Amino acid sequence: MACRILLADDHTLIRQGLRRILECQSDLRVVAEAGSGDEAIAMAREYQPDLAILDVGMKGLNGLEALAQLRRLQPGLAVLMLSMHADERYVLRAVREGASGYVLKDCVEQELIEAIHAVRGGGQFFSPEVYRYVRRSCAVSGLGAEAPDDRFELLTERERHIYQLLAEGNSNKEVAGQLNLSLHTVETHRSRIMDKLGLHSAAELVLSAVRRGIVT
């Protein structure tokens, strides 16, 4: 039976290229495409794929946040992350959130196919450039669990989403419009986010998001 795949990337050309590569394989079938993390979650609910391939750096709801929600929605779903960056923060967070693999976008076609076959069978696959982070983290600290004083885990899913949108430079009003919330609700969430993370300015919020790998 063909593996049913959900593709999520905010660049249409990249999605089209990935689809062409995958559909050349008789045992792979792309059943849904998404241009954002939110769309990926909606598509996963509708199509129940076997494997999700997520871009790490999507706008709105990034791939790492989408990964966390998809793993709660479908615990058995295999998830392969794609990224332009061999960044230790992104790699280790992806592993903590339950990703089965992490592949760089400049990989050769065969590496991507190998990664898909590995994770669909219950295994793991990491591009050589990022595997050293996983190996070192396993040896040192059991997949690099968050430091005890990292307050990010205190945020709710809604607060994490708003945190990312604010860090991307959206105003309170723009966030309210994107999430269909009142301005007062967004302002309240922003205040709670700042309190929970110990932040005091918009600049500190952006810097903290960059350090956590939430935005680039």
Average pLDDT over residues 201-213: 80
Could you report the per-residue pLDDT of 3-40, keeping only the tens digit for each? 999 999 999 999 999 999 999 999 999 999 999 999 99
Could you tell me the residue range of the domain that residue 174 belongs to?
151-211
Residue 119 lies in a domain: yes
Report which of 79, 86, 15 is spatially closest to residue 52, judged by C-alpha positions.
Answer: 79
CA distance 94 to 98: 6
CA distance 20 to 108: 14
Report which of 137, 113, 136, 109 is spatially closest to residue 125, judged by C-alpha positions.
Answer: 113
Whether the predicted model's global pTM rises above the 0.75 cut = no
| 216 has pLDDT over 70 | no
Could you report the per-residue pLDDT of 46-89, keeping only the tens digit for each? 999 999 999 998 988 899 999 999 999 998 899 999 998 888 88
| 147 has pLDDT over 60 | no
Alpha-carbon 163 to chain mean position: 15
CATH number of the domain that residue 69 is part of: 3.40.50.2300
Q: Which letter does DSSP use for residue 84 in this model?
A: S
Residues 6+ apart with CB under 8 A from 112: 18, 21, 103
Q: Are residues 50 and 121 in the same domain?
A: yes
Residue 102 lies in a domain: yes
Mean confidence (pLDDT) of the chain: 86
pLDDT of 29: 95
CA distance 110 to 57: 23
| 143 has pLDDT over 50 | no
> 66: which 2 tokens?
């989408």
Could you report the per-residue pLDDT of 104-138, keeping only the tens digit for each? 988 888 889 989 988 888 888 888 888 877 776 66
> 79: which 2 tokens?
């998830």
CATH number of the domain that residue 174 is part of: 1.10.10.10
Residue where a domain stops, chosen among 141, 169, 187: 141
Q: To which H or E segment does residue 42 belong?
A: helix 37-47
